[in-house]
Amino acid sequence: MRNVKLKFVGINSNFRPVIKVDGQIIKAKKNEFGSYEADYNTDNDNIEISIERNLELNAKLWWLYVIISFIISIFGLFEPPYDKKCIVIDCKFNVKLNDTNEIKLKFNTMNSQGKAVEIETQNQVDEIKNEYYVDKKAKTKRNIITLIKILIWLVLIIGIIFFISEKI
């Protein structure tokens, strides 16, 4: 049984990626320095680390979630805003394991150029994917949702004004 010590540095609190090792989601704990740490045990000679971020707007029933959250949050007043940039991370690494396995993943700033994650380890690493990119479908959906919310608010305001003017 081989033990792998994982350390994640530079994760933004608003940007929460899903980190998987060999297809299993890793639950990392925050340490006193603000980075996250996790231990993973395996019998394999190599592991596959994947890091991804899925946006709500790419889910199957995204439109239903949007409608329900809009109504429950009193027409969007208390609804948290969607990510304006719609940046997604997509990273995948194959790591060959040794006797001691310490892997440190440093998350770079979110931009669509350069690498998303820098990996520091004594192990041999094969980088398959390592990028941030803008999800254009999610960004289009976000813009449509914003436009619809503005139109709903305008209709509500015009309706209230009309109702008040009828009473006077």
23-79 pLDDT, tens per residue?
Answer: 999 988 988 888 899 999 888 899 999 999 888 888 899 899 899 988 898 888 888
What integer pLDDT is reported at residue 59 of this predicted model?
Answer: 86
Would you state the pLDDT for residue 105?
Answer: 93
Instruction: Report the distance separating Cα 79 and Cα 61, nearest Å.
Output: 18
**CA of 151: how far to CAs of 17, 34, 106, 145, 158, in Å?**
33, 42, 42, 10, 11
Q: How many domains does the chain have?
A: 1
pLDDT tens sequence across 111-134: 767 788 999 999 999 999 999 888
In this predicted structure, what is the pLDDT of residue 112? 66
Q: Lowest-confidence range among 79-88, 130-139, 143-152?
A: 79-88
Specify burial of residue 110 (Cβ count, 10 A radius: 0-12, 13-18, 19+): middle
For 33, the domain range is 2-167
pLDDT computed for residue 83 by the predictor:
78
Owner of token pair 């990996």: 119
- The 10s digit of each residue's pLDDT in 75-98 is 888 888 877 888 888 999 999 998
Which amino acid is it at 144?
I
Residue with tokens 């994917």: 129
Q: Residue 127's pLDDT is what?
A: 93
CA gap 62, 146 in Å, rounded: 14
The pTM is what? 0.78
pLDDT for residue 11: 84
Q: Mean pLDDT across the stretch 149-154?
A: 93
Contact yes or no for 121/103 (Cβ under 8 A) = yes
